[in-house]
Amino acid sequence: MTQNPIKGYATQGFDCEGEFGVVVDEVPMGTSPQDALGLVRLIVQIDDWSLRVPGPWEMKRGFGFVQAKPSTGFAPCAVTHDELGEYLQAGRVCLPLQVAVNGRQVGAPHGGEMDFHFGQIIAHAARTRKLGVGGVIGSGTVSNAARGAGSACLAEVRVIEK
Per-block average pLDDT, block size 10, for the chain (162 residues)?
55 86 98 97 93 83 79 91 94 94 89 95 97 96 87 83 78
5 domain residue, yes or no: no
| Count of the separate structural domains present in the chain | 1
Q: What's the chain's Rg over C-alpha atoms?
A: 17
Determine the Cα–Cα distance for residues 4 and 64; give it in Å rounded to an integer.
24
| Coil, helix or strand at residue 122 | helix
Identify the CA nearest to 101 among candidates 43, 157, 19, 159. 157
What is the model's pLDDT at position 15? 84
Which residue type is seen at 113?
E
Determine the Cα–Cα distance for residues 67 and 32; give it in Å rounded to an integer.
32
Q: Which pTM does this prediction carry? A: 0.84
Identify the CA nearest to 43 among candidates 18, 79, 7. 79
53 domain residue, yes or no: yes
55 domain residue, yes or no: yes
82 domain residue, yes or no: yes
| Coil, helix or strand at residue 119 | helix
Identify the CA nearest to 152 among candidates 59, 73, 83, 78. 73
7 domain residue, yes or no: no
Residue ranges in 2-161 assigned as alpha helix (H): 33-37, 54-60, 81-84, 118-125, 154-161
Which residue type is seen at 121?
I
What is the model's pLDDT at position 1? 39
4 domain residue, yes or no: no
94 domain residue, yes or no: yes
**Domain with 97 in it:** 12-161
What is the model's pLDDT at position 42? 97
Q: Read off the CATH number of the domain in which 97 is found.
A: 3.90.850.10
88 domain residue, yes or no: yes
DSSP per-residue string spanning 44-59: EEEEEEEETTHHHHHH
